[in-house]
Amino acid sequence: MNLGQHAGFIVAAYGVAVIVVTALIGWIAADYRRQTRTLRRLEASGITRRSAAIAPAAGTAPSRAAP
């Protein structure tokens, strides 16, 4: 394969792209583990998710303060 006179730049660009994508995947995986750990800790302390709360009755609009 002949990349021509710009071979160094092309290889370096691909190398940087691989490093950045790998770092982003690692960052996302670490954040996911941290968020999961935090959620488990909060649920163990009795704090639940809002989605687990009882939803308002069907057909009723949420109350809003008058402007």
Q: Assess if residue 26 is contained within a domain.
A: yes
Q: Assess if residue 53 is contained within a domain.
A: no
Q: Is 55 exposed, middle or buried (0-12, 13-18, 19+ CB in 10 A)?
A: exposed
Residues composing the chain: 67
Q: Assess if residue 10 is contained within a domain.
A: yes
How many structural domains are present in the chain?
Answer: 1
In this prediction the pTM is 0.60
Distance (Å, whole) CA 64 – CA 67: 9
pLDDT digits (tens, 9 = 90+) for 9-54: 999 999 999 999 999 999 999 999 999 999 999 999 987 777 756 6
Q: Assess if residue 51 is contained within a domain.
A: no
Domain span holding position 35: 4-44
Q: Assess if residue 23 is contained within a domain.
A: yes
pLDDT at 5: 92
pLDDT at 11: 95
Q: Assess if residue 35 is contained within a domain.
A: yes
